[in-house]
Copies of this chain bind each other. A is one copy, B any other.
Amino acid sequence: MTAVKKIAVLTSGGDSQGMNAALRAVVRSGLYYGLEVYGIQRGYQGLLENDIIKMDLRSVGDIIQRGGTILRSARSAEFKTPEGQQKGADVLNQHGIDGLVVIGGDGSYQGANKLSKLGIKTMGLPGTIDNDISFTDYTIGFDTAVSVVVDAVNKLRDTMSSHARSSVVEVMGRHCGDIALHAGLASGAETILVPEVEFNLDEVAERLRENFAKGKRHSIIIVAEGVGRGEDVVSKLKECHASIDARVTVLGHIQRGGAPTPFDRNLASRLGDFAVRSLINGESDKGCGIIKGELVLTDIDKVVNTKKEFDRELYDLALRLSQ
């Protein structure tokens, strides 16, 4: 006996690489365990508009390697109201859908939480490049976003090294510096500016000068958007007389694109399958995550109300190794 018979899946909020791999896992695991599976297009807005399609094995064929989300995503002001949420639950009930998997970030989780209170069994999957969801070590898309940044920095190094200059790269991360941190460590960036660690641009400029004096031929400064615009960082460093390239690289939404890395695909596959099995086992209102290699469930309330911890040790390692 399974606790759910018909489930649906939607993607919501900003898309991330690996969402399609997660969708595929939800659909195919659902079918494997004998459930009916539906796809809701354009997130909660599509739910309100009854934009729902039946999924079969082939609906998710040949998508594991694609960025974006075949179900698309959209914002929905209406779904933020209690009336909208009730309407969403009604639409699901009309279809006889008793379980819902939501793939997205914070806002998406909150929607799942509301629906669970209206009688729908829900599961949240962490789909966002920012890695800013707690109770999971990695979000789906984070590894790929880091790869995109590191690939860009590799390209910059070629030209920086030829001209003995420093260069600023602005990456995503309003409240969470994880992209900056992991990409900074992996690309040997000298300076990593994140919202979680205070810094002083005078000292940054001083460090740049020292490193060039020690023979360094180029220097990369990674700036998470949460601490300000790359352009402003350049202006201030120039005032501090650092020898810096005026041209900032702003990676923008390309950080959300590209084929997902194998790491993200496999993470998404494991989490998608886990979400389905958890619904079948009668769980609801939970966020799915992976912590130290283990699949875990956490109350959505707790997930959205806990700020993710910043890995200060890794940050210090990055600086130690980029002398």
Contact = CB atoms under 8 A, between A and B. Distances in A.
Nearest to A161: B68
Contacts of A69: 162
Interface in A204-220: 214-217
Interface of A is mostly: helix
A280 to B, nearest CB: 14
Interface stretch (A57-65, A81-89, A115-123, A296-304): A57-65
Contacts of A17: 158
A74 B163 contact: yes
Interface in A133-184: 137, 143, 146-148, 150, 152, 154-164, 167, 182-183
B32 A159 contact: no
Interface stretch (A106-114, A192-200, A252-260): A252-260
Task: Please indicate which of the listed interface residues A29, A147, A160, A320 has the most CB atoms of chain B within 10 Å of its own CB.
Answer: A320
Contacts of A273: 317, 320-321
A162 B254 contact: no
A73 interface: yes
A278 interface: no
A248 interface: yes
Interface residues of A, number: 82
Contact of A182 (B58, B146, B262): B262
Given A57-B323, A72-B161, A143-B263, 14 more contacts: A28-B320, A32-B323, A58-B216, A62-B217, A64-B188, A72-B163, A146-B262, A152-B254, A158-B257, A185-B269, A187-B265, A249-B254, A250-B252, A269-B317
A156 B186 contact: no
Contact of A292 (B152, B161, B292, B321): B292
A73 B68 CA distance: 28
Given A15-B158, A28-B323, A269-B317, A217 B185 contact: no
B257 A156 contact: yes
Contact of A258 (B29, B150, B158): B158
Nearest to A225: B247
Contacts of A265: 150, 185-187
